[in-house]
Amino acid sequence: MSERTQQIIEAARTLIEEGGSQSLTMRAVADRLGIRAPSLYKHFPDKLAVEAGVIAIAMDEVAVALATASSLSELATAYRAYAIEHPHIYRLMNSGPLPRHLLPAGVEDRAALPLVRAAGGDENVARAIWAFAHGMVILELDGRFPPGADLDAAWRTGLAAFGDPVQH
């Protein structure tokens, strides 16, 4: 992967962090690098490929962020923390259609692995917990809970239901 290629993905990532997926345009990426938009097409076939590059990086980051969690509640805390620190990236990575064919093999699985382990290898439990965690995060990011709602309490309630020993 050439240096320019990496710079392009970096610039794309920064744009998304700052203004959401909608701020990712080929012109804006080029501006950030001090070149013209058409030049980008010497490095990437199209915009979707750039986006996929950002998603791949983000999934690796999540895998790392979750790797050291040693309990379900630590996992949940780390998951939520990543989402709140990088709301636009989280959305890009976890909403809408995923361009799987443009992603390096195994990236998606690596991000999911810590959760599968925490679920004791039970796929159904892992999927149910994933749904709960993603639901909590995305509803929070989208401002869907009532103002003043105690989300920590909702998280604890859900995690307890899934067998996490409650912390005091």
Partner DNA sequence: GTCTATAGGACGATAGAC
Partner DNA sequence: GTCTATCGTCCTATAGAC
List of residues contacting a second copy (CB under 8 A)? 94-98, 122-125, 127-128, 130-136, 138-139, 142-145, 149-151, 153-158, 161-163
- Shortest distance, CB of residue 25 to DNA, whole angstroms? 3
Residue 165, token pair as written in the block: 């020993």
Say how far apart CA 88 and CA 58 lie, in whole Å: 11
Choose the one of a second copy, DNA, none that binds residue 32, judging by a C-beta under 5 to 8 angstroms depending on kind: none
The nearer residue to DNA, 42 or 168, going by C-beta atoms, is: 42
Q: Report whether 78 contacts 66 (CB < 8 A).
A: yes
The nearer residue to a second copy, 49 or 125, going by C-beta atoms, is: 125
Residue 148, token pair as written in the block: 């003043």
Q: Would you list the DSSP string of 84-140?
A: HHSHHHHHHHHSS---GGGSPTTHHHHHHHHHHHHTTT-HHHHHHHHHHHHHHHHHH
- Shortest distance, CB of residue 113 to DNA, whole angstroms? 32
Choose the one of DNA, a second copy, none that binds residue 103, judging by a C-beta under 5 to 8 angstroms depending on kind: none
Q: Report whether 140 contacts 91 (CB < 8 A).
A: no
- Shortest distance, CB of residue 19 to DNA, whole angstroms? 10
Q: Report whether 81 contacts 32 (CB < 8 A).
A: no
Say how far apart CA 3 and CA 8 lie, in whole Å: 9
Contacts with DNA by CB under 7 A lie at 2, 4, 24-28, 30, 34-39, 41-43, 46-48
Choose the one of a second copy, DNA, none that binds residue 125, judging by a C-beta under 5 to 8 angstroms depending on kind: a second copy
Give the SS3 label for residue 150: coil
Choose the one of DNA, a second copy, none that binds residue 30, judging by a C-beta under 5 to 8 angstroms depending on kind: DNA
- Shortest distance, CB of residue 5 to DNA, whole angstroms? 8
Choose the one of DNA, a second copy, none that binds residue 2, judging by a C-beta under 5 to 8 angstroms depending on kind: DNA
